[in-house]
Structure 1
Protein backbone atom coordinates (compact mmCIF):
# COMPACT_ATOMS: atom_id res chain seq x y z
CA UNK A 1 0.00 0.00 0.00
CA UNK A 2 1.19 3.52 -0.81
CA UNK A 3 0.81 5.61 2.38
CA UNK A 4 0.37 8.90 0.56
CA UNK A 5 -1.80 10.08 -2.29
CA UNK A 6 -4.48 12.52 -3.28
CA UNK A 7 -4.46 16.21 -4.06
CA UNK A 8 -3.25 17.34 -0.63
CA UNK A 9 -0.03 15.31 -0.88
CA UNK A 10 0.50 16.37 -4.48
CA UNK A 11 0.27 20.04 -3.48
CA UNK A 12 2.47 19.67 -0.39
CA UNK A 13 5.19 17.82 -2.30
CA UNK A 14 4.94 20.27 -5.21
CA UNK A 15 5.43 23.17 -2.78
CA UNK A 16 8.45 21.45 -1.20
CA UNK A 17 9.91 20.78 -4.66
CA UNK A 18 9.20 24.41 -5.59
CA UNK A 19 11.34 25.60 -2.68
CA UNK A 20 14.23 23.38 -3.79
CA UNK A 21 13.86 24.47 -7.40
CA UNK A 22 13.84 28.12 -6.31
CA UNK A 23 17.29 27.57 -4.84
CA UNK A 24 18.39 26.06 -8.17
CA UNK A 25 16.87 29.00 -10.06
CA UNK A 26 18.70 31.52 -7.89
CA UNK A 27 22.01 29.70 -8.21
CA UNK A 28 21.73 29.34 -11.99
CA UNK A 29 20.45 32.93 -12.26
CA UNK A 30 23.55 34.26 -10.53
CA UNK A 31 25.77 32.53 -13.05
CA UNK A 32 23.76 32.79 -16.28
CA UNK A 33 21.22 35.55 -15.69
CA UNK A 34 17.65 35.69 -14.42
CA UNK A 35 15.96 34.32 -17.54
CA UNK A 36 18.16 31.24 -17.61
CA UNK A 37 17.79 30.77 -13.85
CA UNK A 38 14.03 30.96 -14.05
CA UNK A 39 13.96 28.60 -17.03
CA UNK A 40 16.16 25.95 -15.37
CA UNK A 41 14.44 26.15 -11.98
CA UNK A 42 11.01 26.14 -13.59
CA UNK A 43 11.90 23.24 -15.88
CA UNK A 44 13.09 21.14 -12.96
CA UNK A 45 9.97 22.01 -10.96
CA UNK A 46 7.60 21.24 -13.84
CA UNK A 47 9.20 17.82 -14.36
CA UNK A 48 8.81 17.02 -10.65
CA UNK A 49 5.17 18.20 -10.65
CA UNK A 50 4.41 16.03 -13.69
CA UNK A 51 5.79 13.03 -11.79
CA UNK A 52 3.78 13.87 -8.67
CA UNK A 53 0.50 14.37 -10.51
CA UNK A 54 0.85 11.23 -12.60
CA UNK A 55 2.56 8.79 -10.25
CA UNK A 56 0.97 9.40 -6.85
CA UNK A 57 -2.32 7.60 -6.21
CA UNK A 58 -5.25 9.87 -7.10
CA UNK A 59 -6.85 9.39 -3.65
CA UNK A 60 -5.40 9.40 -0.15
CA UNK A 61 -4.70 5.84 1.07
CA UNK A 62 -6.10 3.91 -1.91
CA UNK A 63 -5.78 0.66 0.01
CA UNK A 64 -4.49 -2.47 -1.60
CA UNK A 65 -4.84 -2.71 -5.35
CA UNK A 66 -4.29 -6.38 -6.18
CA UNK A 67 -2.06 -6.93 -9.19
CA UNK A 68 -4.64 -9.43 -10.46
CA UNK A 69 -7.18 -6.59 -10.78
CA UNK A 70 -4.75 -4.16 -12.39
CA UNK A 71 -4.58 -3.86 -16.16
CA UNK A 72 -2.08 -6.08 -17.94
CA UNK A 73 -1.61 -3.96 -21.05
CA UNK A 74 -1.79 -0.34 -22.05
CA UNK A 75 -5.10 0.87 -23.49
CA UNK A 76 -4.76 1.50 -27.22
CA UNK A 77 -8.26 2.98 -27.44
CA UNK A 78 -7.41 6.41 -28.83
CA UNK A 79 -9.56 8.74 -26.80
CA UNK A 80 -9.42 6.30 -23.94
CA UNK A 81 -11.78 6.09 -21.03
CA UNK A 82 -11.50 9.74 -20.09
CA UNK A 83 -14.52 11.97 -20.74
CA UNK A 84 -14.88 14.43 -23.54
CA UNK A 85 -13.69 12.44 -26.54
CA UNK A 86 -10.46 13.03 -28.33
CA UNK A 87 -8.83 15.12 -30.83
CA UNK A 88 -6.44 17.32 -29.41
CA UNK A 89 -7.83 18.10 -26.04
CA UNK A 90 -11.47 17.12 -26.16
CA UNK A 91 -11.77 17.99 -22.50
CA UNK A 92 -11.30 16.97 -18.92
CA UNK A 93 -8.37 14.67 -18.27
CA UNK A 94 -6.99 15.02 -21.79
CA UNK A 95 -6.74 18.80 -21.49
CA UNK A 96 -5.04 18.40 -18.12
CA UNK A 97 -2.56 15.90 -19.59
CA UNK A 98 -1.66 18.36 -22.33
CA UNK A 99 -1.48 21.41 -20.05
CA UNK A 100 0.77 19.53 -17.65
CA UNK A 101 3.52 19.30 -20.29
CA UNK A 102 3.22 22.81 -21.80
CA UNK A 103 5.40 24.52 -19.14
CA UNK A 104 8.09 21.83 -19.46
CA UNK A 105 8.26 22.29 -23.24
CA UNK A 106 8.35 26.08 -22.97
CA UNK A 107 10.93 26.24 -20.18
CA UNK A 108 13.11 23.58 -21.80
CA UNK A 109 13.16 25.61 -25.01
CA UNK A 110 14.15 28.79 -23.19
CA UNK A 111 16.79 26.99 -21.08
CA UNK A 112 18.40 25.19 -24.02
CA UNK A 113 18.25 28.15 -26.40
CA UNK A 114 20.85 29.96 -24.38
CA UNK A 115 23.55 28.16 -26.34
CA UNK A 116 24.24 27.84 -30.05
CA UNK A 117 23.72 24.11 -29.66
CA UNK A 118 20.09 24.93 -28.81
CA UNK A 119 19.11 24.01 -32.35
CA UNK A 120 20.12 20.46 -31.50
CA UNK A 121 19.31 20.51 -27.79
CA UNK A 122 15.68 21.63 -28.14
CA UNK A 123 14.64 18.67 -30.38
CA UNK A 124 16.57 16.30 -28.10
CA UNK A 125 14.82 17.84 -25.07
CA UNK A 126 11.45 17.40 -26.79
CA UNK A 127 12.24 13.71 -27.37
CA UNK A 128 13.26 13.40 -23.71
CA UNK A 129 9.91 14.87 -22.62
CA UNK A 130 8.13 12.37 -24.90
CA UNK A 131 10.21 9.57 -23.35
CA UNK A 132 9.32 10.83 -19.87
CA UNK A 133 5.64 10.54 -20.78
CA UNK A 134 6.18 7.01 -22.08
CA UNK A 135 8.09 6.09 -18.91
CA UNK A 136 5.25 7.40 -16.73
CA UNK A 137 2.73 5.27 -18.60
CA UNK A 138 5.00 2.23 -18.23
CA UNK A 139 5.20 2.78 -14.48
CA UNK A 140 1.43 3.21 -14.32
CA UNK A 141 1.05 -0.09 -16.16
CA UNK A 142 3.42 -2.11 -14.01
CA UNK A 143 2.93 -0.67 -10.51
CA UNK A 144 -0.56 -1.70 -9.40
CA UNK A 145 -0.23 -0.03 -5.99
CA UNK A 146 -0.46 3.50 -7.38
CA UNK A 147 -3.88 2.67 -8.86
CA UNK A 148 -3.26 4.35 -12.21
CA UNK A 149 -4.04 3.20 -15.74
CA UNK A 150 -1.77 3.19 -18.78
CA UNK A 151 -3.36 4.84 -21.83
CA UNK A 152 -1.86 5.73 -25.21
CA UNK A 153 -4.11 8.80 -25.33
CA UNK A 154 -2.20 10.20 -22.34
CA UNK A 155 1.07 9.90 -24.25
CA UNK A 156 -0.44 11.65 -27.28
CA UNK A 157 -1.81 14.47 -25.13
CA UNK A 158 1.44 14.84 -23.17
CA UNK A 159 3.56 15.01 -26.31
CA UNK A 160 1.13 17.47 -27.91
CA UNK A 161 1.35 19.64 -24.78
CA UNK A 162 5.16 19.51 -24.85
CA UNK A 163 5.08 20.44 -28.55
CA UNK A 164 2.84 23.43 -27.85
CA UNK A 165 5.22 24.45 -25.08
CA UNK A 166 8.19 24.26 -27.45
CA UNK A 167 6.36 26.40 -30.01
CA UNK A 168 5.44 28.96 -27.34
CA UNK A 169 9.06 28.98 -26.19
CA UNK A 170 10.27 29.63 -29.72
CA UNK A 171 7.79 32.49 -30.07
CA UNK A 172 8.96 34.00 -26.76
CA UNK A 173 12.70 33.69 -27.45
CA UNK A 174 13.04 37.14 -29.10
CA UNK A 175 11.36 38.70 -26.06
CA UNK A 176 13.10 36.70 -23.31
CA UNK A 177 16.51 36.51 -25.01
CA UNK A 178 18.00 33.87 -22.70
CA UNK A 179 21.38 34.24 -24.38
CA UNK A 180 21.74 37.63 -22.68
CA UNK A 181 22.83 37.39 -19.12
CA UNK A 182 25.74 37.08 -16.83
CA UNK A 183 28.61 34.72 -17.30
CA UNK A 184 31.02 34.13 -20.06
CA UNK A 185 30.03 31.92 -22.93
CA UNK A 186 26.55 33.37 -23.33
CA UNK A 187 25.82 32.78 -26.96
CA UNK A 188 22.72 33.52 -28.97
CA UNK A 189 20.71 30.92 -30.85
CA UNK A 190 20.75 32.48 -34.29
CA UNK A 191 17.42 32.53 -36.18
Structure 2
Protein backbone atom coordinates (compact mmCIF):
# COMPACT_ATOMS: atom_id res chain seq x y z
CA UNK A 1 0.00 0.00 0.00
CA UNK A 2 1.32 3.40 -0.95
CA UNK A 3 0.84 6.36 1.42
CA UNK A 4 0.73 9.95 0.31
CA UNK A 5 2.00 12.79 2.53
CA UNK A 6 -1.52 14.03 3.36
CA UNK A 7 -2.57 10.52 4.44
CA UNK A 8 0.49 10.16 6.65
CA UNK A 9 -0.21 13.48 8.35
CA UNK A 10 -3.90 12.62 8.84
CA UNK A 11 -2.99 9.21 10.26
CA UNK A 12 -0.44 10.73 12.63
CA UNK A 13 -2.95 13.33 13.86
CA UNK A 14 -5.61 10.66 14.38
CA UNK A 15 -3.18 8.48 16.35
CA UNK A 16 -2.08 11.43 18.45
CA UNK A 17 -5.69 12.37 19.15
CA UNK A 18 -6.60 8.81 20.14
CA UNK A 19 -3.63 8.70 22.50
CA UNK A 20 -4.70 12.03 24.01
CA UNK A 21 -1.70 13.88 22.66
CA UNK A 22 -3.64 16.23 20.39
CA UNK A 23 -7.26 17.32 19.95
CA UNK A 24 -9.29 15.91 17.08
CA UNK A 25 -10.64 19.35 16.27
CA UNK A 26 -9.10 22.78 16.31
CA UNK A 27 -9.13 24.16 19.86
CA UNK A 28 -10.84 27.25 18.47
CA UNK A 29 -13.88 25.10 17.61
CA UNK A 30 -14.73 24.85 21.31
CA UNK A 31 -14.89 28.61 21.85
CA UNK A 32 -18.14 30.50 21.73
CA UNK A 33 -19.01 32.89 18.91
CA UNK A 34 -18.42 36.55 19.70
CA UNK A 35 -20.82 37.93 22.29
CA UNK A 36 -23.40 40.33 20.84
CA UNK A 37 -21.74 43.21 22.72
CA UNK A 38 -18.60 42.55 20.68
CA UNK A 39 -20.32 42.47 17.29
CA UNK A 40 -22.41 45.54 18.17
CA UNK A 41 -19.42 47.58 19.36
CA UNK A 42 -16.29 46.39 17.55
CA UNK A 43 -16.58 46.43 13.77
CA UNK A 44 -15.04 43.34 12.11
CA UNK A 45 -14.21 41.79 15.50
CA UNK A 46 -12.44 38.46 15.51
CA UNK A 47 -11.05 36.16 18.13
CA UNK A 48 -7.42 37.11 18.56
CA UNK A 49 -6.49 34.35 20.99
CA UNK A 50 -7.18 32.47 24.17
CA UNK A 51 -5.14 31.29 27.09
CA UNK A 52 -5.14 29.96 30.62
CA UNK A 53 -3.76 31.55 33.75
CA UNK A 54 -2.25 29.07 36.17
CA UNK A 55 -0.87 29.73 39.63
CA UNK A 56 1.49 27.06 40.95
CA UNK A 57 -0.01 24.71 38.37
CA UNK A 58 -3.63 25.34 39.39
CA UNK A 59 -5.95 26.72 36.74
CA UNK A 60 -7.32 30.09 37.83
CA UNK A 61 -9.24 31.10 34.69
CA UNK A 62 -9.39 30.78 30.92
CA UNK A 63 -9.47 33.94 28.87
CA UNK A 64 -10.21 35.01 25.34
CA UNK A 65 -9.64 38.31 23.58
CA UNK A 66 -11.67 39.77 20.72
CA UNK A 67 -10.62 42.79 18.65
CA UNK A 68 -10.45 43.98 15.07
CA UNK A 69 -6.66 44.43 15.10
CA UNK A 70 -3.97 42.12 13.81
CA UNK A 71 -1.85 40.38 16.48
CA UNK A 72 1.43 41.95 15.37
CA UNK A 73 0.02 45.47 15.49
CA UNK A 74 -2.39 45.14 18.44
CA UNK A 75 -2.16 47.95 21.00
CA UNK A 76 -4.61 47.70 23.89
CA UNK A 77 -4.28 51.46 24.45
CA UNK A 78 -5.53 52.15 20.91
CA UNK A 79 -7.59 49.16 19.73
CA UNK A 80 -11.07 48.34 21.06
CA UNK A 81 -11.24 44.92 22.67
CA UNK A 82 -13.33 42.47 24.65
CA UNK A 83 -11.59 40.38 27.28
CA UNK A 84 -13.52 37.51 28.81
CA UNK A 85 -12.30 35.47 31.78
CA UNK A 86 -14.03 32.24 32.73
CA UNK A 87 -13.13 31.31 36.29
CA UNK A 88 -12.05 27.81 37.30
CA UNK A 89 -12.37 28.61 41.02
CA UNK A 90 -14.42 30.81 43.30
CA UNK A 91 -13.16 34.24 44.40
CA UNK A 92 -14.43 37.09 46.55
CA UNK A 93 -15.04 40.27 44.53
CA UNK A 94 -12.98 42.39 46.90
CA UNK A 95 -10.02 40.03 46.42
CA UNK A 96 -10.35 40.40 42.64
CA UNK A 97 -10.36 44.20 43.02
CA UNK A 98 -7.31 44.21 45.30
CA UNK A 99 -5.35 41.86 43.04
CA UNK A 100 -6.26 44.03 40.05
CA UNK A 101 -4.82 47.10 41.76
CA UNK A 102 -1.64 45.20 42.69
CA UNK A 103 -1.22 44.19 39.05
CA UNK A 104 -1.83 47.76 37.87
CA UNK A 105 0.86 48.98 40.23
CA UNK A 106 3.26 46.35 38.88
CA UNK A 107 2.82 47.62 35.31
CA UNK A 108 3.29 51.21 36.47
CA UNK A 109 -0.30 52.38 35.95
CA UNK A 110 -1.54 55.41 37.88
CA UNK A 111 -0.27 57.09 40.99
CA UNK A 112 -0.71 55.70 44.50
CA UNK A 113 -3.57 58.16 45.07
CA UNK A 114 -5.31 57.21 41.82
CA UNK A 115 -4.98 53.52 42.60
CA UNK A 116 -6.73 54.11 45.95
CA UNK A 117 -9.65 55.72 44.09
CA UNK A 118 -9.61 52.90 41.53
CA UNK A 119 -9.63 50.30 44.31
CA UNK A 120 -12.79 51.84 45.76
CA UNK A 121 -14.44 51.81 42.30
CA UNK A 122 -13.43 48.23 41.53
CA UNK A 123 -14.42 46.98 44.99
CA UNK A 124 -17.89 48.43 44.42
CA UNK A 125 -18.10 46.78 40.97
CA UNK A 126 -16.50 43.35 41.27
CA UNK A 127 -18.89 40.59 42.28
CA UNK A 128 -18.00 37.35 43.95
CA UNK A 129 -17.45 34.67 41.31
CA UNK A 130 -18.04 30.95 41.45
CA UNK A 131 -16.39 28.27 39.38
CA UNK A 132 -17.75 28.56 35.83
CA UNK A 133 -18.71 32.25 36.10
CA UNK A 134 -17.32 34.73 33.61
CA UNK A 135 -16.31 38.35 33.97
CA UNK A 136 -15.81 40.40 30.82
CA UNK A 137 -14.60 43.87 29.98
CA UNK A 138 -15.43 45.75 26.79
CA UNK A 139 -12.75 48.42 26.36
CA UNK A 140 -13.25 51.45 24.16
CA UNK A 141 -9.93 53.34 24.26
CA UNK A 142 -10.26 56.96 25.30
CA UNK A 143 -13.76 56.36 26.68
CA UNK A 144 -13.82 53.59 29.27
CA UNK A 145 -15.00 50.08 30.06
CA UNK A 146 -18.21 48.15 30.30
CA UNK A 147 -18.07 45.20 32.69
CA UNK A 148 -20.22 42.10 32.28
CA UNK A 149 -20.88 39.12 34.52
CA UNK A 150 -21.93 35.94 32.76
CA UNK A 151 -22.74 38.06 29.68
CA UNK A 152 -25.05 40.47 31.53
CA UNK A 153 -24.22 44.16 32.10
CA UNK A 154 -22.54 44.76 35.44
CA UNK A 155 -21.10 48.29 35.44
CA UNK A 156 -19.79 51.11 33.28
CA UNK A 157 -16.52 52.91 34.01
CA UNK A 158 -16.12 56.33 32.35
CA UNK A 159 -12.49 56.69 33.38
CA UNK A 160 -10.20 56.12 30.37
CA UNK A 161 -7.10 55.88 32.54
CA UNK A 162 -8.60 53.24 34.82
CA UNK A 163 -9.91 51.36 31.78
CA UNK A 164 -6.46 51.32 30.17
CA UNK A 165 -4.81 50.25 33.43
CA UNK A 166 -7.33 47.46 33.91
CA UNK A 167 -6.80 46.04 30.41
CA UNK A 168 -3.05 46.41 30.91
CA UNK A 169 -3.20 43.77 33.66
CA UNK A 170 -3.30 41.16 30.88
CA UNK A 171 -2.24 43.07 27.78
CA UNK A 172 0.63 45.34 28.81
CA UNK A 173 4.13 44.10 27.91
CA UNK A 174 4.98 44.39 31.64
CA UNK A 175 2.18 42.01 32.70
CA UNK A 176 2.98 39.38 35.33
CA UNK A 177 1.56 36.78 32.90
CA UNK A 178 3.53 37.29 29.66
CA UNK A 179 2.71 33.82 28.32
CA UNK A 180 -1.02 34.43 28.66
CA UNK A 181 -0.59 37.85 27.04
CA UNK A 182 1.03 36.23 23.99
CA UNK A 183 -1.78 33.66 23.85
CA UNK A 184 -4.54 36.28 24.16
CA UNK A 185 -3.08 38.55 21.52
CA UNK A 186 -2.52 35.60 19.20
CA UNK A 187 1.26 35.88 19.08
CA UNK A 188 1.78 32.31 20.29
CA UNK A 189 1.13 29.72 17.60
CA UNK A 190 -0.80 26.66 18.74
State the TM-score bracket (shorter-chain normalisation).
Answer: under 0.3
Relative to the length of structure 2, the TM-score reads 0.25
Relative to the length of structure 1, the TM-score reads 0.25
Structure with the bigger percentage of helix:
1
Specify which structure has the bigger relative contact order, considering alpha-carbon pairs within 8 angstroms and separated by 6 or more residues: 1
